[in-house]
């Protein structure tokens, strides 16, 4: 097998050894900012006190609000004249989170991104069309620099203008596209509407990310456009794209552990969850000079997939993002994520598009009720079959979340219709008086 | 004085010597494309046959239509796997012109752009905000790479969103902006409308280009925003920005003659015009591997400014772009550009916004009539003063274009109003029967 970077061939021991050294360097670098200088001092963390990887847990967590409070430049760790790039997330509130890069940071970022692309078989002979917007959004310039580093002929098409995108793909024989999943589906549908077969485009690979999407959406993109679509994970606080990426086995996203420490914590307690359980992803940069970030709470829910990947890389694999930490529910003292329930439901062909999770309180016990719309053709079946279906759904949900739900099968169109973002959860429990 | 590149200190002899060597190499490289292979063979031009700089005139001119006819890849001179970037001009017709770059081409381009920025005093301590759109348009990525090469903290803001642009400038103490002239005026006016003084922004330098604009517009931008605005000239066929740029003396744009050969030709005959006369700019790349372009007709009208620049650089200076070659008029056998007449008129405070050039034929002689609206306060003056004004205008136009016009002074609002692009020329001459 071909690798882009020697770090792809490292053993677990080599990764751990590198992580410890780099974490020490990162702590030393981070201390140069007023924010981390103070934080680490309070926590009693010095570079020398990092002796094993477990010592990362002695470092306090960093939240998005911490970054916002340091706006615009409280986290810079180098003389300002050494900074060459700034990116900012627009965010939903007024204050953006800002990330600064030195030239060496940009080089590492481009290397990581090029490694991701190389991993799925992209080579310098490929023609790469970037259909993501450029600017402060890290997805555009981030993948652009990776493609150029890999030596692909890069077409900086930017977002939108479907007619032109298709003309560029055809005229320049584009083989690889960076495209947002919903736009991939739109583009395919637009071509079909004109009586054309989108699978006849020369595209062979799509890099998809920046937007949560299901496995089903990925398969539809692959079938419609006749290509392999690979999931990308990144966030601007950790550079942007290039943090974790699927290999050709499409079975989880390898997170580049030579450049990041990834942890999964319980969003309620901040403690590590047992290996393989779902929780909030926490990330630490290991190679960034301009603005290192320690134990950043991504708010993204995922888990480490168990076992070794068939590709041979030991960099651990993250499951696709299962939701946002803010969506977490605590039921009978157990953390539950609506996306887990949804994933189970979508595995049943009898289940329609709509469902609702209702939390109730029966005396002092939590009850998790799941109302599920059943497709008409199944709803007509005899009661015994429906009973069997309900039992199977109940069991599968219990296996996933370790709480036994009450499942109600309801008729198509009987649950409240969602306009825009679906409301999937109703919490009817009384809050305990404080 | 500080220079970014040793080539800025070269003498005329050193520039000429480098141009001859690089022209030979460029001819050798260009011959690898089918188009130039054929063209140069027909013209009997080989690398060895280039002995002096005058030999450049033995190379056939390349037009925009030539580039379009080679769409999409008839001008590539390296194995395709060596290409890393493609840019395309949208153009007004269906077929874009496409330019390809190798990594070494991108490096040279970034160096040239960084040299331009360094020349006007921009340093790595500066914060640079790119207010131009990214994507296939060369202005965005072109200047972005130059700023990063120079080591400025680069904020890839992209175009539009005035409120956010202003917030970024304020919060990150942006000192240098790349901004389209009309948008600079818009942004200043928008701030004034909110009762703020745009001159209080931390901006100290604006790079303006991509759009023809007058000296008056530049001065307004400078006064309004309280900064120095420097003119940039470039076109995608010659990379994009970084071709010619003003130095701090703001007296013409130094064209980087170590990287380009610039000629001024008569657009009607294709022959060189006498030194200092207005004509069409023709450019040859000297450092490009992926897609060299020989003697490209830019359709832009300008002239070489005479004399040495106070900055000491001997790279010749182009006048600001005076119009498009397609606007050229031939009157009494002399080439005339409406912009030349406009420049003279704008030098008279008595002259209003509107004027019209009318070409007539009197027997067999061409007559150039210039109708000029006079501001009301001057129109009321006595006839003798108006006669004097007319004579002065007539003389100044003659000095500029070497043809004596008939000048009519008319009242404000008496010429046809222009909606959108002004119609400045009426040709009432009968075409000779062929
Ligand atoms: Zn793998
Ligand atoms: Zn100068």
pLDDT tens by residue, A78-104: 999 999 999 998 655 578 899 999 999
Separation between Cα atoms, residue B165 and residue A72, nearest integer Å:
15
Q: Are A308 and A322 in contact (CB under 8 A)?
A: no
Mean pLDDT of the region B408-412: 91
pLDDT digits (tens, 9 = 90+) for B161-217: 899 999 999 999 999 999 999 899 999 999 999 999 999 999 999 999 877 778 888
Strands A240-246 and A253-255: antiparallel
Structural contact between residues A12 and A21, judged by C-beta atoms closer than 8 angstroms: no
Rounded Cα–Cα distance for residues A25 and A45 (Å): 12
Q: What's the whole-number mean pLDDT along residues B320-339? A: 86
Longest dimension (CA), chain A: 74
- What backbone phi and psi angles, to 5 degrees, belong to A185? -65, -40
Report the residue from B84, B134, B141 with minimal CB separation from A152: B84
pLDDT of residue A422: 60
Name the DSSP letter for residue A266: -
Cis ω on the peptide bond leading into residue A72 (within 30° of 0)? yes
* Pair of tokens at residue A318: 């993250």
Other beta carbons within 10 angstroms of residue A292's beta carbon come to 24
Q: What is the ipTM of this complex?
A: 0.86
Percent of chain B, pLDDT > 90? Answer: 76
Please report how many Cα atoms fall inside a 13 Å half-sphere around the Cα of residue B137, on the Cβ side. Answer: 16
d(CA B184, CA B232): 15
Q: Which residues of B touch A (CB under 8 A)?
A: 71-73, 80-88, 100, 103, 106, 124-125, 133-136, 140-141, 148, 151-158, 168, 171-172
Task: Output the CA A243–ligand 2 centroid distance in Å.
Answer: 46
Query: Given this model, what pLDDT does residue A212 score?
Result: 73
Chain B residues whose CB is inside 8 A of the A152 CB are 84
- Cα A270 to averaged position of ligand 1 atoms, centre (Å): 29
B155/A171 CB distance under 8 A: no
For residue B421, pLDDT beyond 60: no
One digit per residue, pLDDT tens: chain A, 434 residues?
789 999 999 999 999 999 999 999 999 999 999 999 999 999 999 999 999 999 999 999 999 999 999 999 999 999 999 999 999 986 555 788 999 999 999 999 999 999 999 999 999 999 999 999 999 999 999 999 999 999 999 999 999 889 999 999 999 999 999 999 989 999 999 999 999 999 999 999 999 987 777 888 899 999 999 999 999 999 999 999 999 999 999 999 999 999 999 999 999 999 999 989 999 999 999 999 999 999 999 999 999 999 999 999 999 999 988 888 888 888 888 888 888 888 889 889 898 878 899 999 887 888 999 999 998 888 877 888 889 999 999 999 999 888 999 999 998 888 887 555 567 888 888 665 44
Instruction: Say whether B148 and A124 touch across the interface (CB within 8 A).
Output: no
In the prediction, which pLDDT does B325 show?
87
Q: Contact A223/A93 with Cβ under 8 angstroms?
A: no
pLDDT at B431 over 80: no
> Which residues are within 8 A (CB) of A196 and not within 5 positions of it... i.e. 6 or more apart?
none
Of B87, B135, B154, the CB nearest to A134: B135
The structure's pTM equals: 0.87
Cβ pair B133, B159 in contact under 8 A: yes
The predicted pLDDT at position B433 comes to: 47
Q: Which two tokens stand for residue A288?
A: 């960034």
Q: Identify the structural domains of chain A with CATH numbers, from first to last.
A: 80-326 (3.40.50.12780), 329-427 (3.30.300.30)
Nearest CA in chain A to B100: A153
Q: Burial of B68 by CB count in 10 Å (0-12 exposed, 13-18 middle, 19+ buried)?
A: middle
Give me the percent of chain B exceeding a pLDDT of 70.
97
Residues of A in contact with B156 (CB under 8 A): 85, 87, 134-136, 141
**What pLDDT sits at residue A433?**
47
The bridge status of strand B83-89 relative to strand B317-318 is unpaired
User: Would you state the pLDDT for residue A363?
Assistant: 79
- Rg (C-alpha) for chain A, rounded Å, is 23
Q: What is the b/e burial string over A147-186, where b = at least 16 CB atoms within 10 angstroms of the residue's CB?
A: bbbbbbbbbbbbbeeeeebbebbebbbbbbbbbbbebbbe
A263 DSSP 8-state letter: E
Q: Chain A: nearest CA to B134, how far in angstroms?
A: 6
Which residues of chain B have a CB within 8 Å of the CB of A124?
81
Distance from CA of A352 to the nearest CA of B (A): 41
| Contact (CB<8Å) B85/A171 | no
Residue B418: pLDDT above 80?
Answer: no
Rounded distance from Cα A5 to ligand 1 centre (Å): 14
> What mean pLDDT do residues B110-119 have?
98
Of B71, B81, B153, the CB nearest to A80: B153
Chain A residue with Cα closest to B88 = A155
Q: What is the pLDDT of residue A230?
A: 98
| Closest-CA residue to B296 (of B275, B270, B274, B319) | B270
Query: Ligand 2 centroid vs B119 CA: distance in angstroms?
Result: 9
> What is the structure's pLDDT at B313?
98
Instruction: Kindly identify which residue of chain A lies nearest to residue B134, measuring between CA atoms.
Output: A134
Predicted confidence at residue B217, as pLDDT, reads 86
Q: Tell me the C-alpha to C-alpha distance, in Å, between residue B6 and each of A47, B10, B22, B24.
A: 44, 7, 16, 22
* pLDDT greater than 80 at residue B45: yes
């Amino acid at each position: 097998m071909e690798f882009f970077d020697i770090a792809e061939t490292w053993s677990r021991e080599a990764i751990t050894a590198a992580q410890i050294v780099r974490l020490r360097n990162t702590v030393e670098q981070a201390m140069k900012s007023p924010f981390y200088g103070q934080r680490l001092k309070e926590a009693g963390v010095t570079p020398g006190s990092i002796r094993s990887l477990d010592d990362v847990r002695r470092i306090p967590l960093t939240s998005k609000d911490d970054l916002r409070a340091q706006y615009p430049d409280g986290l810079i760790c180098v003389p300002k004249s050494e900074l060459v790039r700034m990116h900012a997330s627009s965010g939903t509130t007024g204050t953006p989170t800002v990330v600064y890069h030195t030239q060496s940071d940009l080089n590492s970022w481009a290397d990581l991104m090029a490694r991701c692309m190389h991993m799925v078989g992209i080579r310098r002979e490929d023609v790469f069309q970037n259909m993501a917007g450029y600017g402060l959004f890290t997805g555009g310039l981030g993948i652009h620099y990776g493609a150029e580093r890999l030596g692909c002929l890069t077409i900086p098409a930017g977002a939108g203008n479907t007619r032109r995108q298709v003309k560029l793909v055809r005229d320049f024989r584009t083989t690889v596209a960076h495209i947002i999943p919903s736009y991939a589906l739109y583009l395919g549908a637009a071509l079909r509407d004109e009586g054309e077969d989108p699978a006849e485009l020369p595209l062979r690979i799509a890099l998809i990310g920046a937007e949560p999407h299901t496995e089903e959406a990925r398969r539809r993109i692959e079938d419609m456009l006749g290509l392999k679509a690979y999931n990308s994970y990144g966030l601007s606080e950790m550079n942007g794209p290039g943090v974790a990426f699927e290999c050709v086995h499409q079975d989880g996203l390898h997170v580049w552990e030579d450049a990041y420490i990834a942890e999964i914590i319980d969003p309620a307690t901040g403690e590590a969850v047992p290996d393989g359980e779902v929780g909030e992803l926490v990330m630490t940069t290991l190679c960034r000079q301009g603005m290192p970030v320690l134990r950043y709470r991504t708010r993204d829910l995922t888990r480490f997939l168990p076992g070794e990947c068939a590709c041979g890389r030991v960099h651990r694999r993250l499951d696709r993002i299962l939701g946002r930490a803010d969506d977490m529910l605590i039921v009978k003292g157990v953390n539950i994520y609506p996306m887990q329930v949804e994933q189970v439901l979508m595995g049943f062909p009898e289940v329609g598009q709509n469902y609702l999770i209702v939390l109730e309180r029966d005396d002092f016990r939590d009850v998790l009720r799941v109302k599920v719309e059943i497709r008409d053709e199944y709803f007509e079946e005899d009661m015994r079959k429906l009973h069997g279906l309900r039992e199977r759904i109940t069991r599968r949900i219990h296996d996933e979340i370790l709480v036994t739900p009450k499942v109600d099968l309801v008729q198509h169109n009987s649950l409240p219709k969602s306009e825009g973002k679906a409301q999937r959860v109703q919490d009817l429990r009384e809050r305990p008086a404080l």
